Amino acid sequence: MSTQSKYRSQDSHEHYTIQQSVVHKLQEAITQGYLVPGQKLLYSEIAEEMNVSVTPVREAVKTLEALGLVTIRPHRTAFVSYLTEDQLNQLYAVRTVLEGLATQQAVERVNPEELAHLRQVYGELNRVVEVLNSDTNDVVRSEGIASLQRLHSHFHLSLYAPCGNQYLLQMVEVLRSQVATYFPVINRYNVERVNKSHRQHLDILTAFEERKPAVAASLMQSHLQETVPWIVEHIRKDYPQLGVEGSSGGRNMVTAESTARLHESLSPRPKRSVLEGATDGSSGKDKGRRRSPATTPSTSREGKERLGG
C-alpha cells in the first residue's frame, strides 16, 4: 500500500494528528532557522522526508500561512515568509502598542502563582544564557539557541497571559509569529543582543513584582523598539535581496549544510531532539494558570512557545 493511500485510509482524527505533526515540525524548522526567509517549500520533498502523503503537508502549509510564517503565491508556490524593512517597522509599531497594553493590564491582574512561574521561567532562561556565554561548541550552541527561542517566547506569553483579554492575546501571538524566522540567526551570532535582552527581561519582571504597571509597560515597549535595529541589520546583511526591495520571493537560499540539517530535522527520529522537543516549558505545577487562547492548531501550547522577539 502506498504512503498516500495508507494515510487516506485513516479516520479524520488520525489525519488531524498527522497534519498537526507536520505543522509542528515545519514550524520548528522555520523558527529555529533550518528553513530560512524566502526558501521554497517543496511539498513532495517534505512529504517524503516525513513519511506522509502530500495532503497533510499542503494543509499544514496553509495553517502556517494563517500564522504568517509561510507565504503562498499563485500556482501554489509556497515559501518561508519575509519582511521588508518598511513592513518590519509597521509591524513593530503595532506590536509596541499592543504588547505594552497587555503588559500593563497583566501587572494589574497577575497573581502570586503567576509571578512565581515567571520567576521560574526567567531562571531557566538565565541558565541557557550562561551556556551561550561560556560554550562555543556548535552542537551545544545550537541546542542552547533552540532552548532560548522556546523559553523566550514562553516568558513573553506568560507575561501577557494574566491580562485576561483573549482578543488582545490572539493579536499579539499572530504578530509575534511574523518575525519568528529571523531570531535563530540573530541570537546565534550576537551574544551581546542576547545578554541585553535578558537584562531587560529582568527589569520587566522586577516591575511586575513591584506592581508597577506603567513602568512595566514602558520597559516592554522599549524592549521591543530596540529589537528593530537588530533585525534590520540582519536583513541587510543576510537577506539583502529580500529585505530592502521586497522582490522575487521564493528564492532558495540554503546551503548544502542547512539542507542536510533540514533533512535531519524533518526525518522521524526515535529520540527526543531539539526540533521534536517543543513543550511549553511548564510542569504539572502549572495547571490552572491562565493561558492565552489557541485560535489555530499552530497557536496551541506546542506552537506558540516558539515565536521570537
pLDDT tens profile 228-247: 888 888 777 766 555 444 33
Q: Which residue has the higher pLDDT, 121 or 268?
A: 121
Which domains are delineated in the chain?
1-82+249-276+290-300 (1.10.10.10), 85-246 (1.20.120.530)
- The per-residue pLDDT for range 106-154, each reduced to its tens digit, is 999 999 999 999 999 999 999 999 988 886 677 777 788 778 888 998 9
Outline where the chain has alpha helix (H).
3-8, 12-31, 43-50, 54-67, 85-109, 112-134, 138-160, 166-177, 183-189, 191-209, 213-225, 227-238, 240-243, 256-266, 301-304
Poorest-confidence range of 74-88, 108-122, 195-209, 277-291?
A: 277-291
Looking at residue 290, what is its pLDDT? 46
All cell numbers assigned to 68:
504568517
Percent of the chain residues past pLDDT 70, beyond the cut: 69
Mean pLDDT to the nearest integer, 154-160 = 96
Q: Work out the average pLDDT over 243-269.
A: 42
Q: Does residue 17 register a pLDDT over 70? A: yes
Q: Are 145 and 32 in contact (CB under 8 A)?
A: yes
| Rounded Cα–Cα distance for residues 283 and 285 (Å) | 5
Unique residue bearing C-alpha cell 492565552:
292
User: What is the structure's pLDDT at 236?
Assistant: 79
The pLDDT score that the predictor gives to residue 62 is 92
Q: pLDDT-derived band of residue 53, with 50, 70 and 90 as boundaries? A: very high
pLDDT for 302: 41
Averaged over 52-72, what is the pLDDT? 90
pLDDT per residue as tens digits for the range 168-226: 999 998 888 878 777 766 656 677 888 999 999 999 999 999 999 999 999 999 999 99
